[in-house]
Structure 1
Amino acid sequence: MRKRRVLIYGTNTFVFVLAVLGILVVLNYLAWSKGGRLDVTREKLYSISDQTKKVVDNLDREIEVLAFFKEVGTDRKEFQELIGEYKRRSGKIKVRFVDPDKEPGVARKYGVTEYGTVVLVSGTQNINLRLSDLISGGIVDNAEEEITNALIKLSKDIKKTIYFLKGHGERDINNNSEPQGFGRLRQLLENEGYEVKELLLLREPEIPVKNTMLVVAGPKKPLLPKEMESIKKYLNGGGKAVFMLEPRLSGELVSFLRDYGFNIGDDIIVDPSSKLVGGGDVAPVVAKYLPHEITEGFRFATLFPYSRSVEVINRDGIRSTVIAKTSEYSWAETNFALFDQGIAQRDPGDRVGPLGVFAVSEIGENTRIAVFGSVDLVSNRFIDFSGNGDLFLNTVNWIFGDTQLISIRPRVAREGKLAITGNQMRVLFSFTVIFVPALVLVSGLVVWWRRKNM
């Protein structure tokens, strides 16, 4: 009788184990065949970004991806996992792995001289990416950004140009080293597929209207009447522009922009509450945005250092909207003498928050204008702060009508640390070192006792 019980018990256990293993095998196969993955990282490092999804979903042509890797290797496996995310979203992406040693002719054709090179081909165009230095440690750092940027460039038939006004002390788009430079912004705009140039209006009779945008980034000196007339002619003819105006400066542009639906304050915004979330008194943190295409699905805070207020006014034929506002604890300081002494306080006559710091307007079918109250928003120092860069790039995409690019761009891997308190550490220690082993020991004793008494 005892042997029979042992046999039944053993058989049941064996069947149960087989059933569990069978279920795990089936689930694993389904996940593999359907491309199912669970990404639990905070920055979604193992999932393609919203921007990549939009770009891939809107592909209107076939893209061949030639990946030059050794047949066996960690780099190849990592890239295969990443590019697989692209393939699963679009049948227009074709991937072929090439070993340069076995197919030297293909490598020569595309100028490939090292492993880890990826070539994206569309018709007669091709873009070479060197990803060998970007793939490491089980995480593909920046590789998604490189691939998606290449897809954007291959998808654009028309080259769009962004002109940065110069000659009045504006921010330098060629300055990559200093905090106030705009070199990083230029790089990001070029990654979006735009051509970026400087424009000296005194030398140019007029601003080209077709497929262009003008950016006026914090001029220190007033624009001449001739230059103002050129900008007016450009905008009235269907032009597009972004104005970034610092406090105390650009009085002629403040007056000029009233005709286009903007009311720009002669003030500086002070927001003490921003200190609590990483900003400062004169670096308001914006965490809420009004509904608009630019901020659809936008979930990141932005920092507007040294900003003036930007509101909108009603104008016939102009659709104006404030996009970003400061907190209710902010105010618009107009007494610059007290501000410079560091003793400015909110007075009964000051305008209080929420205050606009970013607004846009539309005129007719083509003219679109954006005004930011801060220039440092996208300087080298602040452009990578949370959503600063994304907000500006989304604005440029919207102005050009490239709505398929409005999104959250790829995030790069960063060190993740688990911060726990002393009490949490004690609970964790007790659970893993004492409770779990004790549970196993007690369970073993119970099983032993039951078997002994069978």
Structure 2
Amino acid sequence: MRKLDFISKMNSSFKDKKFKQGSYAALSTVIIICIVVAINLLVGKFNIKFDLTKNKLYTLSDQSKKILESINKDVNIIALYQAGQEDKAIKQILNQYEKVNDKIKIQYKDPELYPEFVKKYDKDGSIGEGNLIVECGNKFKVLSYSDLVSYSDYSQSLTAEQNITGAIVYVTSDKRLLIYNVQGHNEDSLPNNVVNSLENQNYEIKNVNLLTDSIEADKGMLMIMGPKIDLTPDEISKVQSFLQSGGHVFISAPIMKNEPANLNKLLSNYGVKLESALIIEGSSSNSLQNPLYIIPDNLNHSITEPITNSKYPIVLRAAHPITNLDIVRHTVKIDPLLKTSDESYAKTNLQSEVLDKEKSDLTGPFVVASAITDEIGKDDKNPKIVIVSSSNFVDESLTANGIGNTDLLLNSINWLESNTQNISVTPKDLSSNYLQLSGAKQLLFSGLVVIVIPVIILVSGIVICIRRKNL
């Protein structure tokens, strides 16, 4: 009888509600452990990795992938690091290049162990640890660590992808594209970072004086970057002939004390005019702490689309309106690129010391950048102009991390040259982001963490205990 009682108790215990709950919990735990082990085995076998960083720091952009997939030449990237001292971030990015195209091979060389190897590429003794050498055949480009990671007073960003991809384009291209950079009107020099960005996109910059040097539309494009005085009639005539030959021109036009009559005469042939009025941005969300530093809205165009997607603002300083003329040739197509807010206005009296809007001032919004095409021939032979009504929009203070001005220049030049192979990859921010809270919100969050959440946990525990006792 005792044996039967024991067996009966065992059977009833298996049917007990608590035993069933415990069995389900144990079975669930075993299943979860098996799933985790299986996932780890698969990840280890197939080298699967996920980029969970906020800005996808270690994932190549679709732009880079498209270019890399078109490369049909062998490319070697030599990373100069001591064994075991490789930069982990750079190494992860380099691994992505090998995965996209097996024509690209990555090597790691210790510059101290292989000094003779380094000398082959070292023209001025500047190559050292942390540098990358991108090589294809007899052509190579050296990237310093500052080309891969950019620092400023306020932020730090990863610029490796844009410069590595640019270097690959450079070494695999058969020829460089020429940019005639106009001088002679007190233009500021292009910042080194902008020059490097253009060179990394396979452009060669040649400074020219329109009065003495020749420019040929079939050999390069023209860049008029921030002239502080108007061009002469002879210079305008030369630019007009350049355009009529199918030339392409980028113009960054600052506001001048007097209307640039000669430059406006050129632009009138293409349906636009520069107004001599200083734009004041009345919307705080469309300005950078100062109403003269405008953050215009990006309009839909292939030049601005990548910048819009990157969510990096364009900042223009001391801009003035670009207006469309009432009478425009039917072959001319004008696409506005950037526009100020409805709250903006423009001071027509440039000597006025009053910042507020006056009766004589113009009412916004205003176009501050346009892309113009004169459709008179084949696509690559059509005269094209991109004009931005601001000076020095690519100076060092406006090409810092988190600002899309350099991208605006690069994308504009690539559009002018119909150069779809080149890209402008926005640097990826490495700076830590901190949560900014007002005093009231700090008290609210403190109350939640210190009082509300602990009380919820305590009450939940009491309720669970009471329910278990009643089972």
Do they superpose with TM above 0.5?
A: yes
Q: Tell me, in whole angstroms, the C-alpha distance in 1 between the residues paired with 2:112 and 2:187.
A: 51
Residue 259 of structure 2 is aligned to residue 242 of structure 1? no
Pair 1:418–1:201, CA change in 2 (3 A): same
What is aligned with 1:352? 363
Conserved 8 A contact 1:274-1:285: no
SS at match of 1:404: coil
Query: Letter of the aligned partner of 2:363 in structure 1?
Result: V
Deviation at 1:396, TM superposition (A): 1.1
What is aligned with 1:157? 174
Q: Tell me, in whole angstroms, the C-alpha distance in 1 between the residues paired with 2:136 and 2:345.
A: 53
What is aligned with 2:261? 251
Conserved 8 A contact 1:331-1:346: no
Q: How does 1:115-126 map to 2 (within 5 A)?
A: 115-126=129-140
Conserved 8 A contact 1:358-1:372: yes
Deviation at 1:150, TM superposition (A): 1.5
Structure 1 stretch displaced more, 8-17 or 419-428: 8-17
Q: Tell me, in whole angstroms, the C-alpha distance in 1 between the residues paired with 2:184 and 2:115.
A: 51
Deviation at 1:369, TM superposition (A): 0.9
Pair 1:431–1:276, CA change in 2 (3 A): farther
Pair 1:102–1:350, CA change in 2 (3 A): closer
Deviations 1:275-302 (A, max 9, x none): 665253333321231x222122432332
What is aligned with 1:129? 143
- Consecutive unaligned residues in structure 2, runs of 5 or more: 1-8, 151-155
Deviation at 1:398, TM superposition (A): 0.8
What is aligned with 1:37? 50
Q: Tell me, in whole angstroms, the C-alpha distance in 2 between the residues paired with 1:396 and 1:424.
A: 49
Deviation at 1:183, TM superposition (A): 4.3
Q: Tell me, in whole angstroms, the C-alpha distance in 2 between the residues paired with 1:316 and 1:207.
A: 28
Q: Tell me, in whole angstroms, the C-alpha distance in 1 between the residues paired with 2:332 and 2:94.
A: 44
Pair 1:101–1:343, CA change in 2 (3 A): closer
Q: Identify the match of residue 331 of structure 2 among 300, 314, 317.
A: 317
Query: Letter of the aligned partner of 2:36 in structure 1?
Result: L
Q: Tell me, in whole angstroms, the C-alpha distance in 2 between the residues paired with 1:439 and 1:62.
A: 66
Query: Letter of the aligned partner of 1:24 in structure 2?
Result: V
Report how many residues are paired: 433
Conserved 8 A contact 2:179-2:222: yes
Conserved 8 A contact 2:97-2:104: yes
Query: Letter of the aligned partner of 2:313 in structure 1?
Result: A
Conserved 8 A contact 1:311-1:359: no
Pair 1:269–1:107, CA change in 2 (3 A): closer
Question: RMSD value over aligned CA atoms?
Answer: 3.7
**What's the % identity of the aligned pairs?**
24
What is aligned with 1:287? 297
Query: Letter of the aligned partner of 1:328 in structure 2?
Result: D
Structure 1 stretch displaced more, 393-402 or 52-61: 52-61
Deviation at 1:395, TM superposition (A): 0.5
What is aligned with 1:178? none
Deviations 1:81-132 (A, max 9, x none): 2222223333332233445677777566656975444332212222333449
Pair 1:57–1:355, CA change in 2 (3 A): farther
Q: Tell me, in whole angstroms, the C-alpha distance in 1 between the residues paired with 2:196 and 2:180.
A: 14
What is aligned with 1:233? 241
Conserved 8 A contact 2:281-2:287: no
Pair 1:22–1:124, CA change in 2 (3 A): farther
Q: Tell me, in whole angstroms, the C-alpha distance in 2 between the residues paired with 1:399 and 1:193.
A: 15
Q: Tell me, in whole angstroms, the C-alpha distance in 2 between the residues paired with 1:316 and 1:23.
A: 67
Residue 210 of structure 2 is aligned to residue 201 of structure 1? yes
Q: How does 1:390-401 map to 2 (within 5 A)?
A: 390-401=407-418
SS at match of 1:235: helix
Residue 223 of structure 2 is aligned to residue 223 of structure 1? no
SS at match of 2:412: helix
Query: Letter of the aligned partner of 1:380 in structure 2?
Result: E
Deviation at 1:189, TM superposition (A): 2.0
Residue 378 of structure 2 is aligned to residue 361 of structure 1? no
Deviations 1:225-258 (A, max 9, x none): 3222222222211221111222235221012111
Pair 1:278–1:50, CA change in 2 (3 A): farther
Which structure is larger by alpha-carbon Rg, 1 or 2?
2
Q: Tell me, in whole angstroms, the C-alpha distance in 2 between the residues paired with 1:8 and 1:353.
A: 73
Pair 1:425–1:58, CA change in 2 (3 A): farther
Q: TM-score, normalised by structure 1?
A: 0.81
Conserved 8 A contact 1:311-1:322: no
Q: Tell me, in whole angstroms, the C-alpha distance in 1 between the residues paired with 2:408 and 2:102.
A: 30
Q: Tell me, in whole angstroms, the C-alpha distance in 2 between the residues paired with 1:406 and 1:109.
A: 30
Q: How does 1:68-217 map to 2 (within 5 A)?
A: 68-73=80-85, 75=86, 77-98=88-109, 114-131=128-145, 141-173=158-190, 182-204=191-213, 206-217=214-225
Deviation at 1:195, TM superposition (A): 1.6
Conserved 8 A contact 1:116-1:132: no
What is aligned with 1:380? 396
Deviation at 1:70, TM superposition (A): 4.3
Query: Letter of the aligned partner of 1:309 in structure 2?
Result: P
Q: TM-score, normalised by structure 2?
A: 0.78
Q: Tell me, in whole angstroms, the C-alpha distance in 2 between the residues paired with 1:279 and 1:211.
A: 42
Pair 1:16–1:104, CA change in 2 (3 A): farther
- Consecutive unaligned residues in structure 1, runs of 5 or more: 174-181
What is aligned with 2:449? 428
SS at match of 1:336: coil
Pair 1:168–1:119, CA change in 2 (3 A): closer
Q: Tell me, in whole angstroms, the C-alpha distance in 2 between the residues paired with 1:434 and 1:98.
A: 59
